[in-house]
C-alpha cells in the first residue's frame, strides 16, 4: 500500500520569536518546525495558501522541499487562531515509510438513523480517533454508517470498523454517538409570594419609620444647639 503524499515547498527561516512570526504571517507565510530522527530541529516558513490547501485535503504525510532538499514528514501538530480558521504554526516530524506513528483521524458518520422516525436525534460525541499504525496505512477518515441505530441506542469505539493494521489508542467503551429523544424542558413557574411576607432587610438601610424619625429629630437637635450658642 502506498501512502498519499504531496510536495510542499518550504524555506529555512533565521528570525525567530513572536514578532518575527507575525511579520511572516503578514507576508503570507506560516512558520513551522521540522524535528525527529535525532537530527537537528529546523525552523521553516511555508506559503500559507499551499499549506492550508494540503491540510484541507486531510493529508498526514508530506514531501517537504526545504531549500531543494526533500524531507518526508508527518503533520504532527497544527495551531489555529482563536476562531479555528487561520493556521498560525505547524509542527512536522520526520518519518520513514516503514515506521509506526500515532495520529488523529476524523470520524465521519454516514446515513440517517432509523431512530429519527421515532423522534430521536443523532448526536456525535467523538469527532476524531487517536490511532497507531504504519505511515503507509494512515486512513484519511474513519467512516461508519448509522442507518441501523434505533432510538435510545449508542455507538461505541469498539463498534467502528478500522482498516487492517490500524489500532485505536482510546478506550473501546467510549461512546462515539447516540440517538436519543431531546425533550424540551418547560420553565419552572416562580412560587407565589406569601401574603405579608417581610421585605428582605438591606444591610446599612434603616427600617421604615427609623429614617423618618431620624430626619424629624435632626431639626430640633440643631435648634437646641443654636439656642445654647445664643445664651
Of 38, 137, 54, whose CA–CA distance to 94 is shortest? 38
Question: What mean pLDDT comes out for the span 1-13?
Answer: 77
**Statement: residue 146 has pLDDT above 70:** yes
Return all residues near 90 (Cβ < 8 A) that are at least 6 apart.
30, 31, 32, 46, 51, 75, 77, 78, 79
55: helix, strand or coil:
helix
**What pLDDT, on a 0 to 100 scale, did the predictor assign at position 91?**
95
Q: Model confidence over 192-225: pLDDT tens digits?
A: 555 554 444 444 444 444 444 444 444 444 444 4
Please state, as a whole number, how many other Cβ atoms lie within 10 Å of the Cβ of residue 12: 12
**What pLDDT, on a 0 to 100 scale, did the predictor assign at position 206?**
43
**Statement: residue 17 has pLDDT above 80:** yes
**Statement: residue 62 has pLDDT above 60:** yes
How far is Cα 205 from Cα 200, in angstroms, rounded to an integer?
A: 11
Of 64, 68, 42, 41, whose CA–CA distance to 51 is shortest? 64
Q: What is the CATH number of domain 98-186?
A: 2.170.120.20
119: helix, strand or coil:
coil
pTM given for the model: 0.67
For the chain, which residues make up each domain, given as ranges?
1-97, 98-186
Task: Measure Cα distances from 173 to 67, 156, 159, 176, 204 in Å.
Answer: 47, 6, 9, 9, 58
Average pLDDT, the chain: 82
How far is Cα 23 from Cα 208, in angstroms, rounded to an integer?
A: 67
Classified by CATH at the fold level, domain 1-97 comes out as Ribosomal Protein L25; Chain P (2.40.240)
Return all residues near 35 (Cβ < 8 A) that are at least 6 apart.
41, 42, 91, 92, 93, 94
Amino acid at each position: 500500500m502506498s501512502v498519499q503524499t504531496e510536495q510542499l515547498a518550504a524555506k529555512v527561516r533565521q528570525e525567530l520569536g513572536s514578532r518575527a512570526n507575525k511579520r511572516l504571517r503578514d507576508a503570507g507565510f506560516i512558520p513551522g518546525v521540522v524535528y525527529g530522527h535525532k537530527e537537528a530541529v529546523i525552523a521553516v516558513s511555508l506559503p500559507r495558501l499551499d499549506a492550508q490547501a494540503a491540510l484541507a485535503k486531510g493529508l498526514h504525510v508530506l514531501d517537504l522541499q526545504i531549500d531543494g532538499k526533500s524531507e518526508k514528514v508527518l503533520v504532527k501538530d497544527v495551531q489555529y487562531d482563536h476562531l479555528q480558521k487561520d493556521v498560525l504554526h505547524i509542527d512536522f516530524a520526520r518519518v520513514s515509510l516503514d515506521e509506526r506513528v500515532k495520529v488523529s483521524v476524523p470520524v465521519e458518520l454516514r446515513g440517517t438513523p432509523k431512530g429519527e422516525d421515532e423522534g430521536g436525534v443523532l448526536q456525535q460525541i467523538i469527532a476524531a480517533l487517536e490511532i497507531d499504525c504504519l505511515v503507509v496505512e494512515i486512513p484519511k477518515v474513519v467512516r461508519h454508517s448509522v442507518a441501523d441505530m434505533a432510538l435510545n441506542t449508542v455507538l461505541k469505539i469498539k463498534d467502528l470498523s478500522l482498516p487492517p493494521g490500524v489500532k485505536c489508542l482510546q478506550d473501546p467503551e467510549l461512546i462515539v454517538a447516540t440517538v436519543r429523544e431531546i425533550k424540551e424542558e418547560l420553565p419552572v413557574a416562580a412560587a407565589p409570594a406569601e401574603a405579608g411576607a417581610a421585605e428582605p432587610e438591606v444591610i446599612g438601610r434603616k427600617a421604615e419609620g427609623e429614617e423618618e424619625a431620624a430626619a424629624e429629630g435632626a431639626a430640633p437637635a440643631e435648634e437646641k444647639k443654636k439656642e445654647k450658642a445664643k445664651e
